[in-house]
Amino acid sequence: IKPAKVVKEALEKAVEKVADLVTPPAPGKPAGVSPPVDPPNRPQGPLPRKPDQASPSTRTATGAETGAAADTRGQQAEYLTTAQGARLYDTDHSLKAGERGPTLLQDHHLREKITHFDHERIPERVVHARGAAAHGVFVGYGTAAQVCKAGFLAEGVTTPVFTRFSTVVGSRGSADTVRDTRGFATKFYTAEGTFDLVGNNIPVFFIQDGIKFPDIIHAVKPHPDREIPQAQSAHDTFWDFVSLHTEATHHLFWHLSDRGIPRSYRMMEGFGVHTFRLVDAKGATTLAKFHWKPKLGVHSLTWEEAQLINGIDPDFHRRDLADAIESGAFPQWELGIQVFPDTPEQTFEGIDLLDPTKIVPEELAPVQPIGMLTLNRNPTNFFAETEQVAFHVGHLPPGIDVTDDPLLHARLFSYLDTQITRLGGPNFAQIPINRPHAPVNDMLRDGFHQHAVQSGVAPYKPNTLDGGCPFMAGADVGAYVEVAQPVAQSVKQREAPASFADHFTQPRLFYRSLSPVEREHVVRAFTFELGKCYEQSIRERALRILANVDAELCAQVADGLGLPAPEATKPVGEVTPSPALSQIGQVWPTAGRIVGIVVDAENQASLDGLHELRQAINAAGLTPLVIAARGGHLEDGLEAQRTFLTARSVEFDALLLAAAPPPAPDALPSRDDKAAAQTAVDPRVVLMIEECYRHAKAIGAWGDGPTALLEARVAPDDLGIVVGDSPAGVFQQVQELLGTHRVWDRFPATVV
């Protein structure tokens, strides 16, 4: 009798649950309009976007504009099912022999759910594990047609793309703003086959031959014994390697410059690094280097900001990219090429074009624009798209070929190889994000995760049984034909050419092309990184390299380390600076910048004109964030988006002070009330001002705002401080200052 009773009760409970599911929604509560307080009991639309994301315009690229339904969520369909499509009535309780009894092995739903979960993680990328990506479009200008026949570069041709940015060293969960090189990989889904431009934000690389890649990566990754430090280059194994391996010096200088700590993925240049060979419609060839030029200019964080952000918002770059796209501030880059005659020597002005540790200064070979990239849609699912995307330098369309750069050749092997492990077999090209948009008709068969149901009996060539199909194409119908490049009669050997031997002239060229403030940052970065090494011999060896590049730089770093500056052993001569290498000195668009506005809810005057100010900031393409002591409602249509507890200066490109808010009760949780009472302005606001000042940011103030400035010991007439009567007038001047990114003149550089 007892078991029957238990079964009956269980059935009754199940029926009750099913009845719950079909209960209609409360009247007057339309689905998906406002966040439900209680969990919904019927399918509803996705939650609305948060207010920050709705500025500067409420436009998103998720609708008809791109044809993608980014808001589609699997969870929105009506009933939960198993992977086989059977509807479920309960997913919270395992099937048990009685309420308190043991769990039954026959519970297929439990086993399917747990088994799938157990296998949810795949190996992260061995390098570039941490990344963020977006969809977009590339439009060709047609200007490349003279040198390259690739169809996607023709005038007005629009090609869908997917771009993934990344750090190199850190693991998938590491912080965004570490000092590192950034990956900049773009998949062009062209009509002639996929083209992957797998580049970095630094135009040179640490090594000249791919066989050394495992060495440099083992050196920079965390120490194998304790697995520390995470996502850092400031440690002994890295400096041990690069101080012994002088061909890394040029990349090292870029890595330690402001390029190693970008403000945003949207504000980075990208480089294909290697020299490629372009082929025109008649078969003539040209050598070329690819460059991405950001419309917003190249901007960086300060080192202190970068370190703070790693703790405060480890997702800073990922969030910045997604928020900008969500708000309609679509980032753009112009694709450009430097072109060189395809001579047998493959050199230009004495620079070996096959050496990936060398640049060709833009003043010698200008970057010529050939198209525009716009990122306009966020991925719908991080794992399916950003994690599973597989780039490969060998994915080339007709018109783009490789050269004999030995680094590029190792890469041509590595990407496919690593993806077989990472994506669980050879069929990853069938994953939606990797599927070419050109028709695929291969004879690759079977293997793990085969999704195609291939018909026919003759996946081989030649055949008669499948009608001889598929046939070979000629160049006239778009076949990819490698350039018939002569190969030098030579001996087999493991050697580098003599033209790869100069490791110091170009680092000097880079360093001497920077403005004094940028050079000062490089000096500090070397001093910081070497200061973090334990081994004295490594520091001394690194200084010997610096002595060869620039005696002044070496002396300053040596001074910081408390070591004597060594003499140069292979000093290089004078160089002609390349102004294009400096990121400072130009005025850039300010779109997409974040402006913090400090208000005091108790002081009505500080709220006056805020609506208009927010509108003006939005209209200028920037994002205003109102900061108050408490979150929530301030007045009609005005909410505080940050509080003194959640806001930190590093989130803002500029700070506006509409008030000098007194200390809130939660201002100083770790200090006694007496100390708090002595402060006229909330100390967290004071800290925000101090940090913005130190990080050379523009600060504006009106109303009581100047009082807060004084509390932070910032003089109202100092450089980059704007004090005025009206919010709009102050913002206008602050926006002008933002055009140059920072007010560097506030702190004149001490380096020569």
Q: Which of 190, 233, 346, 419 binds ligand HDE (CB under 6 A)?
A: 419
Q: What are phi and psi of 678, to 5 degrees?
A: -75, -15
Sign of CA dihedral 422, 426, 431, 437: positive
N- to C-terminal Cα separation, the chain: 94
Residues 6+ apart with CB under 8 A from 651: 312, 313, 594, 596, 625, 642
- As measured in angstroms, the least distance from the Cβ of 357 to ligand HDE is 10
Question: Which residue's Cβ lies closest to ligand HDE?
Answer: 183
Distance CA 656, CA 311 (A): 24
Q: Is 200 a catalytic residue?
A: yes
Distance CA 187, CA 690 (A): 43
- As measured in angstroms, the least distance from the Cβ of 531 to ligand HDE is 28
* Side chain identity at residue 329, one-letter code: A
CA neighbor of 339 nearest in space, from 409, 285, 298, 380:
285
Can residue 136 be called a binding residue for ligand HDE (CB under 6 A)? no
Return the range that interacts with ligand HDE (CB under 6 A); candidates 121-129, 454-462, 538-546, 741-749.
121-129
CA neighbor of 252 nearest in space, from 474, 614, 608, 508:
508
Distance CA 670, CA 731 (A): 35
Can residue 213 be called a binding residue for ligand HDE (CB under 6 A)? yes
- As measured in angstroms, the least distance from the Cβ of 338 to ligand HDE is 15
> Which of residues 131 and 566 has its CB atom nearest to ligand HDE in the complex?
131
Distance CA 176, CA 570 (A): 37
Q: Determine whether the annotation assigns residue 422 to a binding site.
A: yes
Return the range that interacts with ligand HDE (CB under 6 A); candidates 123-131, 428-436, 533-541, 595-603.
123-131
Can residue 126 be called a binding residue for ligand HDE (CB under 6 A)? yes
> Which of residues 60 and 419 has its CB atom nearest to ligand HDE in the complex?
419
Q: Which two tokens stand for residue 664?
A: 């809130």
Can residue 210 be called a binding residue for ligand HDE (CB under 6 A)? yes
**Pairing outcome for strands 623-628 and 368-377:** unpaired
Q: Which of 219, 400, 407, 681 binds ligand HDE (CB under 6 A)?
A: 407
Helix (H, G, I), strand (E, B) or coil at 344: coil
> Which of residues 109 and 128 has its CB atom nearest to ligand HDE in the complex?
128
- As measured in angstroms, the least distance from the Cβ of 422 to ligand HDE is 6
Question: Do 363 and 582 form a contact (C-beta atoms < 8 A)?
Answer: no
Question: Do 697 and 653 form a contact (C-beta atoms < 8 A)?
Answer: yes
Question: Do 330 and 337 form a contact (C-beta atoms < 8 A)?
Answer: no
Return the range that interacts with ligand HDE (CB under 6 A); candidates 5-13, 153-161, 405-413, 672-680.
405-413
- Which residues inside 345-404 make contact with ligand HDE, applying CB under 6 A? 389-391
- As measured in angstroms, the least distance from the Cβ of 413 to ligand HDE is 8
Distance CA 344, CA 325 (A): 45
Secondary structure element (H or E) that encloses residue 118, with its range: helix 108-118
Identify the active-site residue in 109, 135, 200, 235: 200
Can residue 125 be called a binding residue for ligand HDE (CB under 6 A)? yes
- As measured in angstroms, the least distance from the Cβ of 22 to ligand HDE is 45
Q: What are phi and psi of 433, to 5 degrees?
A: -70, -25
Distance CA 446, CA 164 (A): 29
Q: How many residues contact ligand HDE, by CB under 6 A?
A: 26
Return the range that interacts with ligand HDE (CB under 6 A); candidates 95-103, 414-422, 507-515, 643-651.
414-422
Distance CA 676, CA 683 (A): 8
CA neighbor of 234 nearest in space, from 477, 539, 521:
539
- As measured in angstroms, the least distance from the Cβ of 595 to ligand HDE is 31
Sign of CA dihedral 702, 707, 708, 713: positive
Residues 6+ apart with CB under 8 A from 444: 426, 427
Identify the active-site residue in 109, 128, 135, 741: 128
Distance CA 228, CA 239 (A): 15
Binding mask 231-270 for ligand HDE (x = CB under 6 A): ----------------------------------------
Q: Which of 109, 135, 164, 697 binds ligand HDE (CB under 6 A)?
A: 164
- As measured in angstroms, the least distance from the Cβ of 390 to ligand HDE is 6
CA distances 262 to 203, 300, 304, 603, 665, Å, are 15, 4, 13, 37, 37
Can residue 131 be called a binding residue for ligand HDE (CB under 6 A)? yes
Can residue 411 be called a binding residue for ligand HDE (CB under 6 A)? yes
Under DSSP, the state recorded for 62 is: T
How many residues are given for the chain? 752
Q: Which of 414, 527, 603, 707 binds ligand HDE (CB under 6 A)?
A: 414
**Helix axes of 249-256 and 536-549: crossing angle, nearest 10 degrees:** 100
Return the range that interacts with ligand HDE (CB under 6 A); candidates 12-20, 199-207, 317-325, 538-546.
199-207
Can residue 200 be called a binding residue for ligand HDE (CB under 6 A)? yes
- As measured in angstroms, the least distance from the Cβ of 122 to ligand HDE is 12
Q: Which two tokens stand for residue 748?
A: 């004149």
Return the range that interacts with ligand HDE (CB under 6 A); candidates 107-115, 127-135, 299-307, 691-699.
127-135
Q: Determine whether the annotation assigns residue 411 to a binding site.
A: yes
> Which of residues 128 and 521 has its CB atom nearest to ligand HDE in the complex?
128
> Which of residues 407 and 565 has its CB atom nearest to ligand HDE in the complex?
407
> Which of residues 136 and 596 has its CB atom nearest to ligand HDE in the complex?
136
Q: Determine whether the annotation assigns residue 544 to a binding site.
A: no
Residues 6+ apart with CB under 8 A from 637: 611
- Which residues inside 178-197 make contact with ligand HDE, applying CB under 6 A? 183, 185
Q: Determine whether the annotation assigns residue 277 to a binding site.
A: no
Beta bridge partners of 194: 189
Q: Is 250 a catalytic residue?
A: no
> Which of residues 270 and 705 has its CB atom nearest to ligand HDE in the complex?
270
Enumerate binding residues for ligand HDE (CB under 6 A).
Answer: 125-128, 131, 164, 166, 183, 185, 198-200, 205, 210, 213, 273, 389-391, 407, 410-411, 414-415, 418-419
- Binding-site annotation: residue ranges: 125, 164, 213, 411, 415, 422
> Catalytic site residues?
128, 200
- Binding-site annotation: residue ranges for heme: 125, 164, 213, 411, 415, 422
